[in-house]
C-alpha cells in the first residue's frame, strides 16, 4: 500500500488555473493575456484555451497572449482561460477578464486621399461622396463655400464698386460617421460680371446635405444698382459703395468694408474675409482692401496642397477711381480704373475684386470655388 501511495502522490494531476490578465478587442477578435500557473500538475503545460462569454468561442496557444477569432463586432465579451498539461489534464477556469467589444477598423473612400502627420485627409475640390465602408469614427471637417464676385459699375462719372466677400469657413472638430454615403457639395464661386450690377454671390458648400453648411460669399455692391449701395450679406459680406456694412455669418466670416460716395466719384470697400473684415474705402477715390484670409488651417493646406500660402478665404479688393484695394489672401485685387479685375484663386473660397467702366467694357473676375477636407487620425 505504501508503494502504491508513493506512486500516486508523484503522478500527474490537474494544474492550477492560470491568472487572467487583460483582454483587448480587435476586428471580430480579441487578444487575451494571462499568467501561467506556478503548479503545472507535475507535467509541462502544453496548451492554453481561452473561452468567450457569450458564445463559448475558443482560441488556443502555447503561451500568453492567445487570440480568439470569429467574434461578432459590436458584442461585448469577457474571457476565461484554462491550462492543459502534457498528461492531458486541464485546470479549472480562471476568473473572467475585463469586458471588450470588438469593432471593425475604420475605412473610407472619396476625394483625394493623403496621409500626413498621423492623419488621413480626404480632399474634395468638386462634388463627390465620402463613403464609409467599415467601422465608425468621429472625423474633423473643414468646409469652405464659394467666394463672391465684386460689383461692376458703369456710369457717366467715375464710380467704384465693392469687392466680393469670401465664402464661409466652417470647421467641425467631431463629426460622427459610420457605414454610409455622405454627399459633398463644393460651392462654385460667383461668376464675373460683364455688365453693371451687384457681384454675383458664391454658392454654399455642404456636407451630407444640411448636416453642415458653409454659407456662400456675399457679392460686392455697384453704384447704380437700385438699392445696391450695400454689399450682399453672406459667409463674408461684400464691399459697399456707401457708408453701409454687409454682414458676414457668425463663426464663418466677417463683414464687408464700407464705401465712400459723392456726387461725381465713389470708391468701394473691400469684401470681407474669413480672417478679418473688409477694409473701408479711405476716400472717394481709393478702394478698400479685401478682408484677410485665415491661416488657422495651414497644416491642412500644407498636407493637401491647397490654399494660398497656407490660407483660405480672403476678400476681394474694392474699386476706386485712382487706386484699388488689394485682395486678401487668394482674393483678387480690384480692377484698375476702367479695367477688369482678375479671378480669385480657385478652391480657396476667396472673393474677386470690383471693377468700373466709363469708356471701356471691363469685367469682374470670378469668385474662388470652395472645397471640403475631411481628416481623421490613423
In this model, does residue 127 exceed pLDDT 80?
yes
355's grid cell: 471693377
Write out pLDDT tens, residues 248-261. 999 999 999 999 88
Distance, CA of 21 to CA of 79 (rounded, Å): 10
Name the phi and psi angles at 302, rounded to 5. -65, -45
- Could you give the domains of the chain? 2-85 (2.60.40.10), 105-378 (no CATH)
Over the range 223-250, which residues count as b (16 or more CB within 10 Å of their CB) and which as e?
bbbeebbbbbbbbbbbbbbbebbbbbbe
**DSSP secondary structure code for residue 105 in this structure:** P
Distances 346 to 23, 94, 159, 343 between C-alpha atoms, Å: 51, 64, 28, 8
Over the range 18-48, which residues count as b (16 or more CB within 10 Å of their CB) and which as e?
bebbebbbbebbbbbbbeebeebbebebeeb
Write out pLDDT tens, residues 19-44. 999 999 999 999 999 999 999 999 99
Which of 97-106, 221-230, 232-241, 326-335 shows the lowest per-residue confidence on average (mean pLDDT)?
Answer: 326-335
CA angle 259, 262, 268 (to 5 degrees): 20
| pTM (2 d.p.) | 0.85
Distance, CA of 349 to CA of 114 (rounded, Å): 22
H-only helix segments in 53-149: none
Q: Tell me the pLDDT band of 66, cut-offs 50, 70 and 90.
A: very high
CB hemisphere CA count around 180 (13 angstroms):
10
Write out pLDDT tens, residues 272-326. 999 999 999 988 778 899 999 999 999 999 999 999 999 999 999 988 776 666 7
Q: Which residue has the higher pLDDT, 94 or 357?
A: 94
pLDDT (0 to 100) of residue 2: 41
pLDDT (0 to 100) of residue 156: 53
Distances 20 to 46, 98, 115, 273, 371 between C-alpha atoms, Å: 17, 9, 38, 60, 51
Q: Tell me the pLDDT band of 13, cut-offs 50, 70 and 90.
A: very high
Rg (CA), the chain: 33
pLDDT (0 to 100) of residue 266: 79
Amino acid at each position: 500500500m505504501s508503494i502504491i501511495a508513493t506512486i500516486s502522490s508523484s503522478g500527474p494531476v490537474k494544474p492550477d488555473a492560470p491568472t487572467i490578465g487583460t483582454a483587448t478587442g480587435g476586428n471580430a477578435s480579441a487578444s487575451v493575456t494571462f499568467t501561467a500557473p506556478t503548479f503545472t500538475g507535475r507535467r509541462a503545460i502544453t496548451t492554453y484555451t481561452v473561452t468567450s462569454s457569450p458564445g463559448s468561442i475558443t482560441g488556443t496557444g502555447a503561451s500568453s497572449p492567445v487570440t480568439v477569432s470569429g467574434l461578432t463586432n459590436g458584442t461585448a465579451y469577457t474571457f476565461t482561460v484554462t491550462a492543459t498539461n502534457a498528461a492531458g489534464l486541464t485546470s479549472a477556469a480562471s476568473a473572467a477578464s475585463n469586458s471588450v467589444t470588438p469593432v471593425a477598423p475604420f475605412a473610407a473612400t472619396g476625394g483625394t486621399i493623403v496621409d500626413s502627420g498621423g492623419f488621413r485627409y480626404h480632399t474634395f475640390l468638386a462634388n463627390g461622396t465620402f463613403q464609409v465602408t467599415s467601422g465608425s469614427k468621429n472625423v474633423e471637417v473643414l468646409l469652405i463655400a464659394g467666394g463672391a464676385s465684386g460689383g461692376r459699375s458703369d456710369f457717366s462719372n467715375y464710380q467704384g464698386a465693392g469687392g466680393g466677400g469670401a465664402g464661409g469657413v466652417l470647421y467641425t472638430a467631431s463629426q460622427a460617421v459610420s457605414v454610409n454615403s455622405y454627399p459633398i457639395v463644393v460651392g462654385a464661386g460667383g461668376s464675373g460680371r460683364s455688365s453693371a450690377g451687384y457681384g454675383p454671390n458664391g454658392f454654399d458648400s455642404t456636407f451630407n446635405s444640411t448636416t453642415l453648411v458653409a454659407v456662400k460669399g456675399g457679392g460686392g455692391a455697384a453704384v447704380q444698382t437700385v438699392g445696391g449701395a450695400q454689399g450682399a450679406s453672406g459667409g463674408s459680406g461684400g464691399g459697399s459703395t456707401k457708408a453701409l456694412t454687409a454682414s458676414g455669418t457668425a463663426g464663418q466670416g466677417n463683414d464687408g468694408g464700407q464705401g465712400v460716395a459723392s456726387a461725381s466719384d465713389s470708391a468701394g470697400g473691400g469684401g470681407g474675409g474669413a480672417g478679418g473684415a473688409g477694409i473701408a474705402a479711405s476716400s472717394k477715390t481709393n478702394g478698400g482692401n479685401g478682408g484677410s484670409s485665415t491661416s488657422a488651417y495651414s497644416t491642412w493646406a500644407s498636407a493637401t496642397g491647397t490654399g494660398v500660402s497656407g490660407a483660405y478665404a480672403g476678400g476681394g479688393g474694392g474699386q476706386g477711381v485712382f487706386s484699388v484695394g488689394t485682395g486678401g489672401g487668394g482674393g483678387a485685387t480690384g480692377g484698375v480704373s476702367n479695367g477688369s479685375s482678375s479671378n480669385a484663386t480657385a478652391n480657396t473660397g476667396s472673393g474677386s475684386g470690383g471693377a468700373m467702366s466709363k469708356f471701356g467694357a471691363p469685367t469682374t473676375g470670378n469668385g474662388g470655388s470652395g472645397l471640403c477636407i475631411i481628416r481623421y487620425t490613423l
